[in-house]
Every structure is written in C-alpha cells, then in structure tokens.
Structure 1
C-alpha cells in the first residue's frame, strides 16, 4: 500500500500541473475566440473554411492590438485618441468609469508606469499576521491631506487568485521591502507559500563560494 500511495502522489505531481496549465490556456483561448463575434457573419472563419480553428481569436486579438498600437503611435493617431478621450469625458456616468479604467491601465501597461514594482511584507489582516503585498504608489489628493505621516498605497492580493485583493494605505515604515522579483512574489502567493522564492543572500554566498 505504501508503494501504491507513493505512485499515486507522484502521478498527481506530474499530471496536475499539466492539466491545470492546459485548462487555463484553453479558457484564455476560448475567451479570446469570442472576439470573432465582431466580424460580419460572412467573414467568420468557421463559415469561410467550413471548420473551426481553435485559437484564431487569439491571432485576431493580437492583430487588432498591433494595428491599434501602430496607429496610435504616430502624431495623427495620438490626436485621434485625445479627441476620443475628450468626447468620452463629456458623457455622464461613462466618463467616471472610463477615466478610472484608463488611469489604471496607463499605470499598469505604460512603460513609465510604476505599479507592482516592489514586493513588501505587511501585517494583514491584523497585527502579528504577515503577508506579501505590492506597493502601487503613494496616496494623493484629499487622502494625502488627511495623512500626516509617510504612507504608501499597497495592494494585498488573495490566494490563489491574485487578480482579486484589497487596497490599503499603510505607513511606509510598517512595510518591509523584499528583494524578490515581482514574478517570484506572485508565484509565492499563487502557490500558497509552496513555491518558496530563492534567498538572495544565500545566492550571493554561493556565488562568492
């Protein structure tokens, strides 16, 4: 029985990562395939070719992003984007949603963005309990006016889905800055602490040795 149990768990270690990876990729490809719905029915690949091509929506999405990016990179494209932003900013309700999303996307995806640049240890959800979080910036506007000390904005992701989490404002002195990369910190969070990031001090010692 001990041997069977060992084989069973060894099989899980081999199969589970591959199955989960395939499931995630299939879900992403399936979601992106929905972008084909923007094409006229006569232009649908399934209709033209007579069979379904998995992942064609991924290629279409990449092509659209590249084309839009190329057009928006020149002078005329930038002016068109500015005109569109000004138009949307005049529409009630829509402007508040659009401006918020645009600010977040500019921070996350722009080359000059500073979101998720530093992994830190913070006490959450109470004193004495620690978790890995990410500094996203510093408080501004009215919030900064009420905070007299040196505070930072922190995103505390949930496990194992780091796309949801909590936004908190904490004193900078209460954050312990980590040397681990953002990728290593995310792996640590998603794996629920199973995948431990390498110790940079130990790595330096091994290099010296």
Structure 2
C-alpha cells in the first residue's frame, strides 16, 4: 500500500501540472479563435480552407494588436487615439468605466510606469511578520498630504510608497497598503520569481537557494 500511494502521488505530480497547462492553453486558443468572428463570412478561414484550423485566431489577434500599436505610434494615429479618448470621456456612464480602466492599464503596461516592476519585502500584517509585496507607486493627493504632515499613522517627513500584497496561492486577490519606504526591503528577484514563490507558498525558492535561517542578518532597508 505504501508503494501504491507513492506511485499515485508521483503520477499526480507529473500529470496534474501537464493537464492544467494544456487546459489553460486550450482555453486561451479557443478564446482568441473567437476574434475571427469579426471577419466577414466569406473571409473566414474555415470557409476558405474548408476545415477548422485551431490557432489562427491567435495569429489574427496578434496581427490586429500589432497593427493598432503601429498605428497609434505615428502622429496621425496618435491624434485619432486622442480624439477617441476625448469622445469616450464625454459619455456619462462610459466615461467613469473607461477612465478607471485606462488609468490602471497605463500604470501596468506603460514602459515608464513602476507598477509590478519591483518585488519588495515588507512587514505584514503586523510587525515581525514578513511577506512579499509589489511596488505600485506612491501616494498622492489628499492621502499624500496627510502622510507627509504627520496627520496619518506616520511621523512628519516620512516617505511612503504604495504596494500590493498578493494572497497565496491565488495572487489575483490581495491588499493595497501604504507603507514607509524605509521599512521596505528591495529584493533582487524578478517579479516572475516572486510570483512563483508566492503561488508555491514558499516551496519553490527563486534561484534554487535555501531561504535564510532564523538568526541570519536582516536585509538592508530600501534606499
């Protein structure tokens, strides 16, 4: 029975990641194949080829994305995009949704943005307990004014940063918190390595190194 249990667990360790990976890839390809529906029926690849070829939607979606990006990068395309943004901002209901989504996308995908570009080590949810977080920016507006003047939880003059603390093993849920910059530790691991570390609940250590043992020297604060 011990041998059978060992073989069963070994089989699961091999098959489960493979099955989940194939399922996700199938879902992505099937979803992107739906983009072909925007083409006229006479131009549909199934009609031209006489059979369905999976994956053409991925190529089509990539081509559309690259074409829009190339168009938006030149002067004429940039003016058209600005005109489109201005038009959407004049529609009452659409304006609030589009504006919020665009701000988030600009922060996440902009080459000049800081969102999720750096993994940090912070004390959360209380002092003495450490977890991995991601830098998302810095407080602004009224919040920044309260924190800098000492009306908030920090002392006057303390510099704060905004971070996202993901949950384990699902990093899509988490907490947005503002912490003192001096209390954070800048990690050398990449964002992908940090996400893998979080999803695996600390089982997969970035770089294959063993985690520091209790009593080891503490990291250097973020400068």
Normalised by the length of structure 2, the TM-score is 0.81
Contact kept? 1:155, 1:168, Cα under 8 Å? yes
Deviates more, 1:15-24 or 1:38-47: 38-47
Give yes or no for the alignment of 1:45 onto 2:54.
no
Larger deviation, residues 56-65 vs 30-39 = 30-39
- Report the CA distance between 1:25 and its aligned residue: 1.1
- Paired residue secondary structure (1:34): helix
Structure 1: distance between partners of 2:165 and 2:176: 6
Q: Residues 43-122 of structure 1 correspond to what in structure 2 (within 5 A)?
A: 43-122=43-122
Instruction: Tell whether the 8 Å contact from 2:205 to 2:211 is kept in structure 1 after alignment.
Output: no
The DSSP-based 3-state class of the residue aligned with 1:93 is helix
The residue number in structure 2 matching 1:206 is none
Which position in structure 2 is the counterpart of 1:172? 181
Deviation at 1:201, TM superposition (A): 11
Q: Distance in 1 between matches of 2:71 and 2:211?
A: 46
Which blocks of at least 5 consecutive residues in structure 1 are unaligned?
203-209
* C-alpha displacement of 1:5: 2.4
Asked whether 1:150 is paired with 2:159, we answer: yes
Distance 1:201 1:163, change over 3 A: closer
Q: Is it true that 1:28 corresponds to 2:15 in the alignment?
A: no
2:123 corresponds in structure 1 to 123
Aligned length: 202
Does the 8 Å contact 2:120/2:135 carry over to 1?
yes
40 and 125 in structure 1: CA distance in 2 versus 1, 3 angstrom threshold = farther
Structure 2 residue aligned with 1:8? 8
Q: Which moved more, 1:9-18 or 1:77-86?
A: 9-18
Q: Mark the runs of 5 or more structure 2 residues left unpaired by the alignment.
A: 149-157, 213-223
Match of 2:172 among 148, 152, 163: 163
Single out whichever of 130-139 and 6-15 deviates more from structure 2.
Answer: 6-15
Q: 1:106 to 1:126 in 2, by over 3 A?
A: same
TM-score (norm 1): 0.86
CA distance in 1, matches of 2:58, 2:167: 28
Q: Secondary structure at the match of 1:143?
A: helix
Structure 1 residue 130, shift from structure 2 partner: 2.6
> 1:187 Cα shift?
0.7
Contact 1:180 1:200 (8 Å CA) reproduced: no
Residues of 2 paired with 1:200 and 1:138: CA distance? 32
